């Protein structure tokens, strides 16, 4: 479609304006211009203020749309933030450091973050919250689990599109690899994962969460040399988040039980934790 007005039947200005604003991709101006014009007339504002208001509204909306797009592209399994994170539940976690990291300077510096701790201590929650903060500050993010990433890499290799996937993984500003250590990797899997970390080294920030302390990482990668080289790269510029403590879920279900004791006098099994509950 061209934007030149037809000579025979000149389109009314509103029709043309709608068309031009669509073409310029200014949906908020299109939606708001009449309402804001009425307000400007009521308040006796000049044209410049009217235009400024419309442009501001478009900018605010555009920023919001971009954050939403980044969040969708990140493929978070859930959207979680630090607003819902209770730091008192995990005293081993350095709160000032964590909140400092939420400002995302490590993304610019291309540093890494490794969150270590037993199951249920909020590692995934913190990784998601850091990922969300990065999306809000304008960085591209990809969230995946170690097992999921290895699966994707193997599939891409079989379908001869490994280079393209590697390029994508190398280009994202923040890569989050959750749950390293839950599943031991095959040799090929370990090598492919190593390559990802290696290619990102000093080129992009990476967050890794693991239930295993570093000295047990060899059991995941199955190879001491590879593990050594990997740790060397990952820990070169790294912020470590110590997250050992009581499982948050376990603690919550215990608290629930204290408040609301089971009516039965038979011992039972907590459905969430599998723990035997005394009568």
Among 40, 67, 89, 238, interactor with ligand ADP by CB under 6 A: 89
Q: Check residue 123 for interaction with ligand ADP (CB under 6 A).
A: yes
> What tokens does 182 get?
């839950």
Closest to 243 measured CA to CA, from 67, 146, 120:
120
Tell me how far, at minimum, the Cβ of 84 lies from ligand ADP, in Å.
6
Hey, what's the torsion of the CAs at 167, 171, 175, 181, to 10 degrees? Answer: 30
211 is an interface residue for Mg ion by CB under 5 A: no
Of residues 70, 125, 173, 233, which one binds ligand ADP by CB under 6 A?
125
Closest contact distance (angstroms) between CB of 82 and ligand ADP is 9
* Residue among 76, 82, 85, 106 that touches ligand ADP (CB under 6 A): 85
Record the tokens describing residue 258, joined without a space.
Answer: 């204290």
259 by Cβ neighbours in 10 Å (0-12 / 13-18 / 19+) ranks as exposed
Q: Which does 181 bind (CB under 5 to 8 A by kind): ligand ADP, Mg ion, none?
A: none
Judged by CB under 6 A, does residue 150 bind ligand ADP?
A: no
Per-residue interface string for the shown chain with ligand ADP, residues 91-120, x marking contact by CB under 6 A: ----------------------------xx
125 binds, among ligand ADP, Mg ion, none (CB under 5 to 8 A by kind): ligand ADP
Say if CB 153 and CB 162 are below 8 A apart.
yes
Which residues inside 225-254 make contact with ligand ADP, applying CB under 6 A? 248-249
Asked if 185 and 150 count as a contact pair (C-beta separation under 8 A), the reply is yes
Encoded one letter per residue, x for contact with ligand ADP by CB under 6 A and - for no contact, window 54-83 reads --------------------------x---
Distance CA 110, CA 206 (A): 8
Count helices and strands (H / E) in the chain.
12, 7
Gap between the Cα atoms of 30 and 43, Å rounded = 21
- Compute the least distance from the CB of residue 254 to ligand ADP, in Å: 13
CA distances from 148 to 189, 213, 220, 242 (A): 11, 21, 15, 24
Residue of 21, 74, 90, 104 interacting with ligand ADP (CB under 6 A): 90
150 close to 275: Cβ distance less than 8 angstroms = no
- Residue 140 CB, shortest distance to ligand ADP, in Å, is 23
- By CB under 5 A, tell whether 124 contacts Mg ion: yes
Closer of 124 and 144 to Mg ion (Cβ): 124
> CB–CB of 227/218 below 8 Å?
yes
Report how far residue 133's alpha carbon sits from residue 86's, in angstroms, rounded to the nearest whole number.
Answer: 17
Two tokens, residue 42: 């009521």
In the complex, minimum distance from the CB of residue 123 to ligand ADP, in angstroms, rounded to a whole number: 3
Instruction: Give me the residues that bind ligand ADP (CB under 6 A), please.
Output: 80, 84-86, 89-90, 119-125, 248-249
- Where does this chain bind Mg ion (CB under 5 A)? 124
């Amino acid at each position: 479609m061209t934007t030149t007005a037809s000579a025979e039947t000149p389109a009314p200005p509103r029709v043309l304006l709608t068309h031009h604003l669509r073409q310029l991709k200014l949906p908020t101006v299109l939606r708001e211009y009449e309402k804001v014009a009425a307000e400007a007339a009521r308040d006796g504002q000049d044209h410049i203020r009217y235009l400024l208001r419309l442009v501001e509204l478009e900018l605010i909306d555009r920023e919001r749309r971009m954050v939403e797009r980044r969040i969708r592209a990140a493929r978070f399994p859930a959207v979680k933030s630090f607003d819902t994170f209770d730091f008192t539940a995990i005293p081993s976690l350095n709160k000032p450091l964590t909140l400092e990291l939420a400002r995302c300077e490590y993304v610019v510096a291309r540093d890494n973050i490794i969150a270590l701790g037993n199951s249920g201590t909020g590692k995934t929650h913190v990784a998601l919250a850091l990922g969300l903060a990065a999306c809000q500050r304008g960085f591209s993010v990809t969230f995946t689990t170690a097992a999921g990433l290895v699966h994707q890499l193997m599939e891409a290799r079989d379908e001869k599109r490994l280079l393209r996937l590697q390029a994508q993984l190398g280009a994202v500003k923040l890569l989050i690899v959750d749950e390293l250590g839950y599943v031991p990797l095959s040799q090929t899997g370990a090598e492919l994962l190593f390559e990802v970390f290696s290619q990102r080294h000093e080129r992009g920030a990476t967050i890794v969460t693991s239930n295993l302390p570093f000295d047990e990482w060899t059991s995941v990668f199955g190879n001491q040399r590879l593990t050594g080289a990997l740790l060397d790269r990952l820990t070169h510029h790294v912020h470590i988040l110590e997250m050992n403590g009581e499982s948050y879920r376990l603690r919550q279900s215990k608290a629930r039980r204290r408040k609301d004791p089971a009516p039965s006098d038979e011992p039972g099994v907590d459905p969430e934790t599998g723990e035997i509950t005394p009568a």
